[in-house]
Structure 1
């Protein structure tokens, strides 16, 4: 199995893609175009098909949350071309919001599984694996949980029941679970105030969550997951130390994943591969789980040729880091196309973060990823 690509600069597919004059190349057509034909209609392989053995290529499934424009309330059930693209282009799917607490648990006594079930069943029909996201997090928790004034024993029982019920429901059907998500702040300190679980139950609840998840599905790979951990820094160092401690205590931790939400306003995390390699050397799997590359855009503006070239370079280099690591078995882009992206709602003045235009034609970033996967196979 070939898993190495030597080029780390944009000299291949992405460079070739942007060599065509802007007015003539369909990959630069406006996202409002209704007549453009997708440039990958004639390609022989999808991203998932091009990937080497042992690597799945995934996308987040839009919907179920508060990130999207009201014109697109539920893309997964209401946009047939989008669903077809998810089915044919990728070998892994992640629920963007449909498996988070506020979506699954409208009240304490109710589990709302319909949307999560639909994603898992869709993936199974199309021969795809699923990443579960997420079990223990400080954000997107329902009000009844955050404001319930539960005692420690009751709160612990609520979390255990949730993990056992959710993970158990999908036993044998979820490849990887983000068990603990974003538990450190940017300075590498545990979120002891804004994370209800850590605040009320102490840091040892993290190990318990992994144990409960493993008991509910011994076949699932269990991950720590966070943003801004692509480089060696205080935050990733904190995860490295925690990983060592959890493993030393026999906790069923199987992997560490970097979300990889990047922006052209900041430099590329050039030590991404080295950072993940140290987790690999602990015996852990690694993954890039929420990859997107946003850029500054004035309202109504289209990306420039140079922005698209730089974006393609960033995407390419994230994939190369994964390909160069035997431990990296999952590479996931955080949704598509741009109209379904969380970025414009969350980062004012930024957008165009995905690898697809709104008419589902591909950007140079897509072509860069495809060529890298073909070369690695």
Structure 2
């Protein structure tokens, strides 16, 4: 989710296992993260995607010592869950949940989790994070082009959030967060802010809380990882929501970075949010480089991954880090190699940077 805008998004996971070696990787990130006091180290994938037919990827993604959380890339988004008005489908979302239940069912030791977190289902202490309820870029056309008035759109939003959250209540702790600030509103993509104004945030969060009072609700956004106008606007939004008792439990900072271009104030930005009484997490981390890769770029990427994870480690209420696995087999606009694994799912120097920060 690299676009700026409005959405209802995602977060969280955990598991404990003995040391497991997958593809020659003997240091398991989730185990190390938990030992260091965090809730999880996670990854993203989804049902029906090419990587899920790749045995190497499945071995990596299903190693619960490596990943204690999994974020679905698309199967929880509005165009998947309600492609036609009032007609809901959870085929892909349920398929991913079944994958988690199957692949992580042989965990050797379990922990009883005493906390409930935003948008997760626990399978042997592994979270699935429902990502996301609403996002401007993958709305079905009946929403984006419906021309609904305020009252009708309010009811549509309430019905959608309530149905999605209720489907997973008691299974996935499914909450909704929305990416709120954008450089420009694009009516071709999203009608919610055009029609409802900022009240759509209240409507969505309140509907999610009513559908599942135990869910933790996050706002998830990008370009808020360092100080600036957008981060300031998000801080103001958090303050406003809290002052009016609108339910909000956390902020997800996506973490789509470029090698050598990290904000210099990652930790203090996390602390600014937690000071307002919310949790934080890095939810979609990738650090891309302009291709082809070089030894110098790989070295810098290692330092950058270490810096990002270290920022979370330094903040008590930063609960975890999730990497965005869709970058593994692909590049984007001449950029790529954004993850700690290469196209053959072997670790890169960035992996060592993560381990160093977690340790």
Confirm or deny a common fold (TM above 0.5): yes
CA distance in 1, matches of 2:322, 2:313: 13
- In structure 1, the partner of 2:39 is 55
Q: Decide which of 273, 280, 284 is 1:286's aligned counterpart.
A: 280
CA spacing shift, 1:250–1:192, aligned 2, 3 Å:
farther
Match of 1:16 in 2: none
Q: What are the residue-to-residue correspondences of 1:89-100 with 2, within 5 Å?
A: 89-100=66-77
Q: Using the alignment, how far apart are the partners of 2:274 and 2:286 within structure 1?
A: 23
TM-score normalised over the length of structure 1? 0.78
Gaps of 5+ in 2: 1-21, 105-123
Is residue 333 of structure 1 aligned with residue 331 of structure 2?
no
Question: Residue in 2 aligned with 1:132?
Answer: 130
Aligned-residue offset at 1:62: 4.3
Partner residue, 2:249? 254
Q: Counterpart of 1:274? A: 268
State the alpha-carbon separation in 1 of the partners of residues 310 and 75 from structure 2. Answer: 30
Q: What displacement does 1:146 show?
A: 0.9
The answer on 1:211 being equivalent to 2:196 is: no
Q: Map 1:276-355; keep pairs closer than 5 Å.
A: 276-297=270-291, 301=292, 303-335=293-325, 338-339=328-329, 341=330, 344=331, 347-355=332-340
Higher mean displacement: 325-334 or 172-181: 172-181
72, 87, 92: which is aligned to 2:62?
Answer: 87
Give every structure 1 segment of 4 or more consecutive aligned residues whose post-TM-superposition deviation is greater than 6 Å. Answer: none
Deviation at 1:159, TM superposition (A): 1.1
Higher relative contact order (CA 8 A, sep 6+): 1
Structure 2 vs 1, CA of residues 176 and 268 (structure 1 numbering), >3 Å: closer, same or farther?
farther
1:107 Cα deviation after fit: 1.5
| Matches of 1:63 and 1:75, distance apart in 2 | 9
Structure 1 residue 196 displacement after superposition: 1.4
Matches within 5 A, 1:1-377: 38-40=23-25, 43=26, 45-51=27-33, 52-62=36-46, 73-76=49-52, 78-88=53-63, 89-125=66-102, 126=104, 127=124, 128-175=126-173, 177-181=175-179, 183-186=180-183, 191=185, 193=187, 195-264=190-259, 267-297=261-291, 301=292, 303-335=293-325, 338-339=328-329, 341=330, 344=331, 347-373=332-358, 375=359
- Measure how far apart 1:292 and its partner are: 0.1
Distance change (3 Å), C-alpha of 1:210 and 1:262: same
Shift of 1:330: 2.3
After superposition, the C-alpha distances for 1:71-92 in whole angstroms (9 at most, x for unaligned) are xx5322x223312211112000
